[in-house]
Amino acid sequence: MPHLTPQARQALTEGRRRQILEAALHVFAAKGYATATIHDVARAARVAEGTIYNYFRSKDDLLVHIPRHIVGGVFDNLATGLARVQTADDAERVLQTLGREAIRRIRTNIRFVKVMLSAAPHLNTAARREYMRLLPLAAAEPLEAHLRDGMRTGLYRSNLNPSVAARALPMLMITSVMVNEVLGGVRMRPEAYETMVREHVQLFLTGVLNRVRDPGGAS
């Protein structure tokens, strides 16, 4: 077997992890979490059952890593996009683009989301803690950093609580999707989600942007 560079070895490891997570995503969505087994996942991933345990400790561990697998790329793009924001219009454009992509991925995998919601209360304590750490609300981390930078430059109001504000927008969007797709059983048209994302982003920015006084003296 040829010698692998550290970079090649890491790429191989990440590729195998994605392969296993993708298989687990489809198996859990199709069979339900309680019914599915590690053997089912290994067969779907076309790897030996023991290989799963080289990357994940248990079935619970697999489950809690899938949400981040579904929307992880969105977080990376969010951090990159926010780093280039200079104006309110820039922020609106970046947040709307990433909001649309996050919702598209959640809706595409809505069968798994339903499985996740039903299985989460039954996870062991360690898995539940890891799930909260990897929750899609991790999108709040780059957004909070961006808000802090914007407070320093004057783009956002100086009395803003960036930790609370950064969690408000992802929570608003995710809750809307959950209510419509899971709890309400009503699937909105794509254009309705487009409107929802636009309005949520505008509401969010209205609350966090620095309010400049009108030159005529009105506040």
The tens digit of pLDDT for each residue in 119-132 reads: 877 788 888 777 77
Per-residue model confidence as pLDDT tens digits over 14-30? 899 999 999 999 999 99
Q: What is the mean pLDDT of residues 169-174?
A: 85
On whether the CB atoms of residues 25 and 109 are closer than 8 A, the answer is yes
- State the pTM of this model: 0.74
Question: What share of the chain in percent tops pLDDT 90?
Answer: 43
Helical segments of 32-124, H only: 38-45, 49-52, 59-83, 88-108, 110-119
pLDDT tens, 151-165?
999 999 999 999 999
In 3D, which of 217, 214, 215, 212 has the Cα closest to residue 87? 212
- What are 146's two structure tokens? 């961006």
